Each structure stands twice: as C-alpha cells, then as structure tokens.
Amino acid sequence: MKTVVSDGDCLVKLLDALQRKEQHGEAQQQQQQEQRREEEEQQHDIVLECVVTLDEVSGEQKERAKALNLRLMAWEELLELGRANMVPLSDEVQPTLESLHTICYTSGKLISRLSCRTTGSPKGVMMSHGNFVAAVATAVEGPLSEFGLNLYSSDCLISYLPLAHVYERFCENLFFSYGGRVGFYSGDTHKLLDDVQALKPTVFCSVPRLFQRIEERVTSSLQGKSLLARSLFQQALAAKIRRLRTSGVPQHPVWDRIVFDKFKNLMGGQVRIMLTGSAPLDPQTLERMRAFFCCWIVEGYGMTETMGASFLTWNVYDNNPGQVGGVLPSLEFCLLDVSETMNKYSIRDPIPKGELCVRGSTVFAGYFRNEKETEGAIDREGWFHTGDIAALLPNGGVQIIDRKKNIFKLAQGEYVAPEKIEAVYMHSRFVAQCFVFGFSSETSLVAVVVADPDQTMHWVRETRGAAEAAGHTFAEWLEDPEVQRAIQEDMQQVAKKQSLKGFELARKVYFRAEQFTVENGLLTPTFKLKRHYAQEVFAEQIKEMYDKIHKEQQGA
C-alpha cells in the first residue's frame, strides 16, 4: 500500500462483500489470496490487468490467466521484478496534499441524503493525501498528547479488521507515524485470541460486536460456576464499576489480582488502550469491558467520509458511557434542525438534538463518478451531512441517538429508533442478535431474534432435564412454545428495566438459530446489520407476524 501511494498512484481496496455488478472503477492491480483466485479467473469481463497472490503460482494457473489476458504472479516474483527495475522517485510523481490517495467503498446499499432513496450500489469515497495526514495529525496533537494516551515506537497493534475500511487504515497509519509495530492476524477470526496471545499487542482496535461476544462468553461461563464463585465475581465487578464511575481509573488494587487479571491475559497481558468504533457500543457493555480488561477503552464516532474518526472520548476522566466525546481538532460541527420533518428532535430543546454535520480537513473530496450523491452529501458551505441524529450534552460531548435513515414513524405518530431498542433487547441473556422492524402504517413493532445457543440450551437442561434436552437440536428447541415464551418474558423484563416505552416493545418475535454473519450478507464487514437486506430476507416472517397482530386486533 505504501509503495503505491508514495508513487502518486491511487489505491482502491475492494470489499469481499462487493459483487461484480457493483464495481465501477478501473482497478489495474489487486492482491488476491489463493482461495479467491479461482473466482477471479471466471470473470471474463473484469478490467484487471494483473493479479498478485501471496502464494506460489502453478504453470496451469498462469496458462488459465493468460487465456483471460490477465497477468498472474506471486508476491516474491513481484519483489524481484521491482529489484531489477529500480526507479528513483522524482518530484514529478510525488503526491501533494490534494492528490488522490484512496478510494474507499462503503459497504452495502446506501440511502441518498439528497433524494432519500435507496441506491443500488456502494459509493467510492475519494480521500486525498491531505485527509490522511490531517487524520493522523489530529489524533497525535489532540487526544493522544492531551490526556496521556501517548503511543510509542514500542507499541504493537494487531490488524484484523478489513483493510478495505478506512477505520483500520487510520489505525495503522497512526502506528506507522510513531514507528510502532503492526501484526496481522492469521485470517481466521475464530482464532483471533490465539493470535492476540502470540503477538501480545499493547493497543487493540475493535468493533462493538466483538466486545458483545466477549461479554456473552463471560456471562455464559459463569453459568457453570458455583454460587460462591458467581457472588465473588459480581462483587468484584460492582467494586470496579464504582471505582470507574468515581475516579475514571480502570484498575483495582485488589480485585484485579483476584479476578480480572485472567481476562487481561486473554488479550496477551500487555493491552493498555482499546478503541471501539464503526457502531455504538452499549454503555453497560463498555463499562464491563473496561472492568474486565483493566484498561481504558476509547469510543469513537466517524464515517468513511470523515476518515473514520470525527469524535472521540479522548478525556480519560470522562467516564460517562453512552456518548462519543468531543470533536477532533481537524473538524468543526453543528446540529441541523430537523424538527419540521421529525418533531421529536429540535435544536431548541434543553438538550439540543438534530442532524450532525461536520466540516474540516478530514472530510472527503466527493464520491467517485457520482456528482449527484456528492452534492447531496456536502452542501454549498462545505458541511458534510452525516445522516445521524445527535444530541449535544451539557459537558460538550455528543451522543449519537440513531441514524436518520433508520428512524421511522409508527401510525400513531411516535418515532422509533430501532438501534436503541435492539441494544436494550441484547441485554437479555437469551438474545445474541436482534433486528427490530416496523411499518409506518402499523402501530406496533416486530423483531427477528437470534437466540444464544448456550443460554437457551442451559435453560432447557434446567427445566426439561439433560436427557430430554439432548433429544433435540438447538434449532428444534427454538420452535418449542415454552422456550419461546421464556425468551420473550426475559426480553420483557429487560425492556421494563431499561424503561422502554410501550410503542417501543416488539409485539411479535420470530426466533432464528442461524447467526447474522458477513457470509450470509446480513452483516457488513465491520459487523453492522444491513437493515435493507434483513428486511428482504425476513419479508415473509415479518408479514406473518403482522398478520397475527391484525387477527388479534380483530378478535379484540
């Protein structure tokens, strides 16, 4: 990557999730792993000229590539070619701050801010060298130096998030600026902890879904412990969270040695800073992760269009979860009043709420070959409209309420923020994943819930006995009315505890055993739910749930 951009060329990283019909750039060279080479060779109308693989290339594979007018070479072959044709850099090819550095593709279908319609393909976000320089500089001169979160040349980062995303690219560029080390995971996320323990990183950048999985694992592991062990853990956790809330210190002189050092060692024992981004992290999960790993977890907010980071909980003494902190020095922000179209939110409220807009040196140049979408995203004054509804808190921090495109109105006029409701339901020990949906013509919500297999089967064994539990699969047990009733009752208790309003409750639930994954298209590569696709996949189940609701209403 560094070789390409230092030579003044533009780097285009393609997501695995992008389909061939969604490509519209002339990528001339792309590195591919052996497992994807067969698929590439079948695409007779691709515009690639050269494919570089990290594995050895057989003669047969080269012949097949030649038949497609495609040059295929191994990585070592490319290095040797470079050594034999060394060309010194000249001022003519050296990039300027305005030079195009990268085109990063957003994943999945997007909502146009100009026309509020669904577009059929991802957008290529054009970012300059100046954007990358500003992003690194603003992190170095802002939160890192101000509040003691300094990086050093001895620091180590593990890279496992997609490099096609600007979030991971930003993290790596930041490390390179300090002379730090970056280690790449083995390629299997199921073995990520093994990679982490081998590398022993000092900084860990992740996404909310992974932290949620860790919390689920810890909760599940406690089920088999004795009452004394569970009580000791809860006492230790409560003490650490009290200390966090009063002092902001994530370490405890007593409970870390007794309970929490084992969690720290899961991450190699050297992690001192964690960063979470790409989606909101539930406040309760954030507090627990800080307690588990004995280190500060920084939460950030940003988009591909803003170089991945716009806001950061950069003050280590700002120990209030549920917000994304203050704006980074490279940007300014404002809240756009949306009260005319969404009367629930107003900039004139005691806590102002509106659409978040940002402007500054880390805002992208525009969408590749898409002037209409660019005009809809960046107004004439240079403000980029994020499409997210935010609140300005009394301490100057920003809280993201939900995405403007996700918020919808029910028939009785109440506005619903589905991500907030999903986050609440996922506090249920039975809920692994959740998709909340509603039509504007309806008065209630429905939900698709992926049940947690460990917690569900634990409940089945306790209530039905081990022998009977073993007689059916997890998926079969999910169809049992008593099991469904137990899960829904727990969801209702969680909703009541979290003060969900009546219209925010899911009136009907469809239970599913299979997880939402990147592979089945329901999650983006950074593990965010693809709502538009989920609506398509579960269209039949959604219809059935609303049919049942209508029958109940008619019967009443």
| Structure tokens that stand for 516 in this block | 């939402």
Q: Please report the beta strands in 369-482, taking only residues with DSSP state E, as ranges in sequence order.
A: 384-392, 398-403, 408-409, 415-416, 431-437, 445-451
pLDDT at 86: 82
Lowest mean pLDDT among 12-21, 257-266, 546-555: 12-21
* Tens of pLDDT, residues 40-92: 444 444 467 888 888 888 888 888 888 888 888 888 888 898 889 887 766 66
Residue 238's closest CA among 295, 288, 296?
288
Q: CB neighbours (10 Å) of residue 554?
A: 7
| CA atoms of 277 and 108, how far apart (whole Å) | 18
| CA atoms of 195 and 154, how far apart (whole Å) | 19
Average pLDDT rounded to a whole number, residues 177-194 = 89
Domains of the chain: 1-95 (no CATH), 170-330 (3.40.50), 408-555 (3.30.300.30)
Crossing angle of helices 208-222 and 453-464, rounded to 10°: 20
Helices (H) and strands (E) in the chain, counts: 21, 23
pLDDT band at 481 (very low <50, low <70, confident <90, very high): very high
| CA atoms of 326 and 310, how far apart (whole Å) | 8
Task: Give the DSSP letter of residue 10.
Answer: P
pLDDT at 459: 94
Residues of the chain with pLDDT > 70, as a percent, come to: 87
The H or E element spanning position 32 is: strand 29-32
Q: Which residues contact 217 (CB under 8 A, 6 or more apart)?
A: none
| Structure tokens that stand for 218 in this block | 């810890």
Which amino acid makes up residue 234? Q
- 94 vs 121: which has the higher pLDDT: 94
Which amino acid makes up residue 358? V
| CA atoms of 334 and 331, how far apart (whole Å) | 10
Measured between alpha carbons, how far is residue 44 from residues 31, 36, 64, 67, 473 in Å?
Answer: 18, 15, 11, 10, 44
Say if residue 441 is exposed, middle or buried (CB neighbours under 10 Å; 0-12, 13-18, 19+): exposed
The length of the chain, given as a count of residues: 556
Average pLDDT rounded to a whole number, residues 16-45 = 46
307 Rama class: left (phi>0) / alpha (psi -120 to 50) / beta:
left
Q: Which residues contact 165 (CB under 8 A, 6 or more apart)?
A: 15, 104, 278, 304, 308, 525, 526
The H or E element spanning position 392 is: strand 384-392
pLDDT band at 21 (very low <50, low <70, confident <90, very high): very low
CA count, 13 A, side-chain hemisphere, 77? 15
pLDDT band at 233 (very low <50, low <70, confident <90, very high): very high
Q: What is the 3-state secondary structure (H, E, C) of 208-261?
A: HHHHHHHHHHHHHHHCCCCHHHHHHHHHHHHHHHHHHHHHCCCCCCCHHHHHHH
| CA atoms of 47 and 29, how far apart (whole Å) | 9
Q: What is the overall mean pLDDT for the chain? A: 84
Whether the per-residue pLDDT at 476 is higher than 90: the answer is yes
| Structure tokens that stand for 122 in this block | 């991802």
Whether the per-residue pLDDT at 28 is higher than 70: the answer is no
Task: Give the DSSP letter of residue 189.
Answer: G
pLDDT band at 556 (very low <50, low <70, confident <90, very high): low
Task: Give the DSSP letter of residue 106.
Answer: P
pLDDT at 27: 46
| CA atoms of 499 and 487, how far apart (whole Å) | 18
Average pLDDT rounded to a whole number, residues 447-463 = 94
Average pLDDT rounded to a whole number, residues 397-413 = 83
- SS3 state at 31: strand
Crossing angle of helices 418-425 and 481-497, rounded to 10°: 110
Q: Model pTM greater than 0.85?
A: no
Residue 210's closest CA among 274, 296, 300, 144?
274
Whether the per-residue pLDDT at 112 is higher than 70: the answer is no
Residue 513's closest CA among 542, 544, 472?
472
pLDDT at 118: 36
pLDDT at 188: 84
pLDDT at 30: 47
| CA atoms of 366 and 364, how far apart (whole Å) | 6
Average pLDDT rounded to a whole number, residues 500-526 = 91
Whether the per-residue pLDDT at 131 is higher than 80: the answer is yes
Is the distance from CB of 59 to CB of 52 less than 8 angstroms? no
Is the distance from CB of 310 to CB of 328 less than 8 angstroms? yes
